[in-house]
Structure 1
Amino acid sequence: MPEEIIRPLSVDGVRFSYRVQPHSGPDGVPATEPALIIGGALQGMFGWPQMDDHLGDAADVVTADLPGMGIADPLPPGPSADLLRRAVLAVADDLGAPRLNVFGFSYGTAIAFGFARRHPERVARLALGGVPVHIDAAQVDCWERARRQLAAGDREGFAATAADALMCLDPERPVHRRELARRYVRRSFLHALTHSPHAADSLHRALADRPDFSGGLTGVPALVFAGEHDTVTSPARQREFAATIEGSRFLTIEESDHWVVLERAEEVAALIAGFFTGRRPPAGAVTLPRQAGARASRT
Structure 2
Amino acid sequence: MRYQTDFAPQRLADAPRVLRIGPWSLHFLAFSRHAEDSREPVLMLGGAFQSFRSFGAEVQELLPHHPVILLDLPSQGSNLQLAPELALEQLADLIAAFATELRLPPLMPIGLSYGSALAALFAVRHPERCARLLLAGITAFGRPGARRLLEEGLDLLAEGQAQRFAQGALTGLVNPLRLEETGVPQAFRKSLLRQMHRLSPQEVERYRQNSRRLLDFTGFDRHPACPTLVLAGEYDHFTQPWEHAGFAAACANADCALIHNADHLAQFEQREACASFYRPFLRGTTLPLANPGATRLSRSRLDCLERRQEPRVAPLNRRGRMFHAEAGEWPVEVSELGFFGGLVQGNLPATLPERGWRLQTGDLPALDLLPLRRDRDSLALVFPHIDAQASEALAAQVVQAEPRAVAIG
TM-score of Structure 1 vs Structure 2, range by shorter chain? 0.7 to 0.9
Separation in structure 1 between the aligned mates of residue 52 and residue 24 of structure 2, nearest angstrom = 17
AA in 1 matched with 2:138: V
Task: Please point out which of 10, 13, 19 is paired with 2:20.
Answer: 10
Bigger Rg, which one: 2
Q: What is the CA RMSD across the aligned residues, in angstroms?
A: 3.1
The separation in 1 between residues aligned to 2:269 and 2:195, in whole angstroms, is: 15
2:262 to 235, 256, 263: 256
1:60 pairs, out of 44, 63, 67, with 67
Aligned in 2, Cα 1:156/1:235: closer, same or farther, shift over 3 Å?
same
Q: Which amino acid aligns with 2:66?
A: A
Q: Secondary structure at the residue paired with 1:150?
A: helix
Distance 2:45 2:233 in 1: 18
Q: Is the contact made by 1:139 and 1:165 (CA closer than 8 Å) also made in structure 2?
A: no
Distance 2:102 2:281 in 1: 22
Matches of 1:77 and 1:259 in 2, distance apart? 27
Structure 1: stretches of 5+ with no match in the other structure: 295-299
Alignment TM-score, normalising by the size of structure 1: 0.83
Matched with 1:35 is: 42
Question: Percent sequence identity over matched residues?
Answer: 26
Task: Check whether the contact 1:181–1:263 (CA below 8 A) recurs between aligned residues.
Answer: no
CA distance in 2, matches of 1:170, 1:235: 16
The structural deviation recorded for 1:183 is 2.9
- Alignment match, 1:297: none
Find the counterpart in structure 2 of residue 227 from structure 1: 233
SS of 1:165's equivalent in the other structure is helix
Q: Which has the higher strand share?
A: 2
Correspondence for 2:31 among 2, 21, 31: 21
Contact 2:234 2:262 in 1 (8 A): yes
Asked if 1:203 corresponds to 2:207, the answer is yes
Unaligned runs of 5+ in 2: 303-409
| 1:133 CA displacement | 2.8
| Contact in 1 for aligned 2:245/2:256 (Cα 8 Å) | yes
Structure 2 distance, partners of 1:276, 1:212, is 30
Count of matched residue pairs:
290
- Which residue number in structure 2 is paired with residue 217 of structure 1? 223
Contact 1:16 1:73 in 2 (8 A): no
- Deviation of 1:12 after TM superposition, in Å, equals 3.4
Which residue does 1:289 correspond to in 2? 297
Indicate whether 1:242 and 2:252 are aligned. no
In the TM superposition, what are the counterparts of 1:84-123 in structure 2 within 5 Å?
84-123=91-130
- 2: CA distance, partners of 1:173 / 1:46: 26
Asked if the contact 2:41/2:105 (under 8 Å) is kept, the reply is no
Task: Give how far 1:160 is off.
Answer: 1.7
Q: How does 1:33-182 map to 2 (within 5 A)?
A: 33-171=40-178, 174-177=181-184, 179=186, 181-182=188-189
State the Cα deviation string for residues 95-115 of structure 1 (Å, max 9, x = none). Answer: 321201111111111111111
Note if contact 1:227-1:253 (Cα within 8 Å) is conserved in structure 2: yes
- Larger relative contact order (Cα-Cα within 8 Å, sequence gap ≥ 6): 1
